[in-house]
Amino acid sequence: MDLLNTLVDKGLRRESPTREEALAVLATSDDDVLDVVAAAGKVRRHWFGRRVKLNYLVNLKSGLCPEDCSYCSQRLGSKAEILKYTWLKPDQASAAAAAGVSGGAKRVCLVASGRGPTDRDVDRVSETIKAIKEQNESVEVCACLGLLSDGQAERLREAGADAYNHNLNTSEATYGDITTTHTYADRVDTVNKAHAAGLSACSGLIAGMGESDEDLVDVVFSLRELDPDSVPVNFLIPMEGTPLAKEWHLTPQRCLRILAMTRFVCPDVEVRIAGGREVHLRTMQPLALHLANSIFLGDYLTSEGQAGHKDLEMIADAGFEVEGTGEVTLPEHRASARSGGCGSHTDGGGCGSHADAGGAGAGGCGSHAGGGVCAPASASTPAPARATEEPRTDLVAVRRRGAGTDLAPNA
């Protein structure tokens, strides 16, 4: 297929595809999905080999968020029967993080529900970061606390944070359909604050919210322009008690096409399969490893994930290997543009052209934990419906173990 050959060539050169080419990937048929995976897999292996980076979530504060993000089980007005608790103490969070690290996680993502942290919250998280680093000096720590105020990103970095996550989630055109309590521009501002502070920026999307192909392409191109080091791709987990929880738009094949499009647009960036892979990719999860080079290990913020040992078995059976703590995730040209590897942002042309989830209220950590779906998509071409795709509500389970409980985590 000429399209795929062109996209592979561009990906190996870190050249952006056109919008039309990105849309064409999403429009390919199920009959062609293996060809699409094979093509995007060449780009993935060129920049990341067969390494898979493992990330582990610690939900520092769960539920009772004042924001109204309609995809989120922690949102204002949510009736989802999730765990609700206030801030974990530093030793509790450190113990939770240690479970993930012992399971093979290289990065720990510290997430807290809410619009954004107060200065006292930043102090609290800073103590948690220090406690984690004291036990595991080599582990990467990513904070995901919502919208940042001036100076807070710098304080997090001084405390030892390596990265900050804040997802765009969907296109600017449809963002107002998802939430009314903050804006798309607010999210962009927080990603820029993380960059400016020298934190490695992590920002991604949620697919399956009723958006059009154009919306998906728009948000991925916007992410390319923002130039994060990692792009988590979440697949909506429709949880009971959240708006439009009965909406199901995704098939395994569509999820693979979305991941492939993201890889072509952001060829040399850490593309992470985040929340919802177990629900929507299901038995086709191993194929997604040919597209993404990073996953979350075990459970998510408020929903259960695949058992940690099953993740490790899947990676090995698919012919991939877990990335070690001594290995640098990013390709050399990107890593060298960051001070110390996870450091300062240098202006460039976006992911793939460097100058070389739901989850946490206004935050997200690339770990969409269930929620409703976005209200009506834009007037552009709607995502194709699949009448044969029955909702798999049996695969959606609320997290009842790990952080905030007395039960051992799933790591």
Residue 160, phi then psi, degrees to nearest 5: 115, 0
109 counts as catalytic:
yes
The answer for residues whose C-beta is within 8 angstroms of residue 401's C-beta and 6 or more apart is 299, 407, 408, 409, 410
Q: Which of 44, 75, 144, 202 is catalytic?
A: 202
Q: Which of 14, 44, 65, 257 is catalytic?
A: 65
Q: Percent helix, strand and coil across the chain, each rounded to 5?
A: 35, 10, 50
Angle at 129 between CA 123 and CA 131, to 5 degrees: 105
351 counts as catalytic:
no
- Given a contact cutoff of 8 angstroms between Cβ atoms, the answer to whether 208 and 215 are in contact is no
Element (H, E) at 140: strand 140-144
142 counts as catalytic:
yes
365 counts as catalytic:
no
- Given a contact cutoff of 8 angstroms between Cβ atoms, the answer to whether 259 and 233 are in contact is yes
Q: Rounded to 10 degrees, what is the CA torsion of 349, 160, 110, 344?
A: 0
DSSP helix/strand/coil, 286: helix
Angle at 330 between CA 329 and CA 336, to 5 degrees: 125
Residue of 279, 320, 280, 262 lying closest to 36 (CA atoms):
262
Q: Which of 14, 75, 107, 109 is catalytic?
A: 109
DSSP helix/strand/coil, 56: strand
Q: Which of 72, 144, 365, 374 is catalytic?
A: 72
The token duo for 271 is 């593309």
Quickly tell me which residue has 């007395």 as its tokens: 406
Q: Which of 44, 142, 263, 374 is catalytic?
A: 142
Quickly tell me which residue has 């009723």 as its tokens: 210
Q: Helical H runs in 86-183?
A: 90-102, 119-135, 152-158, 175-178
* Torsion sign across C-alpha atoms 94, 99, 102, 103: negative
Q: Which of 69, 266, 342, 351 is catalytic?
A: 69
Strands 321-322 and 107-112: unpaired
- Given a contact cutoff of 8 angstroms between Cβ atoms, the answer to whether 233 and 273 are in contact is yes
Residue 207, phi then psi, degrees to nearest 5: -105, 155
Q: Which of 75, 107, 224, 272 is catalytic?
A: 272
Catalytic residues, by residue number, are: 65, 69, 72, 109, 142, 202, 272
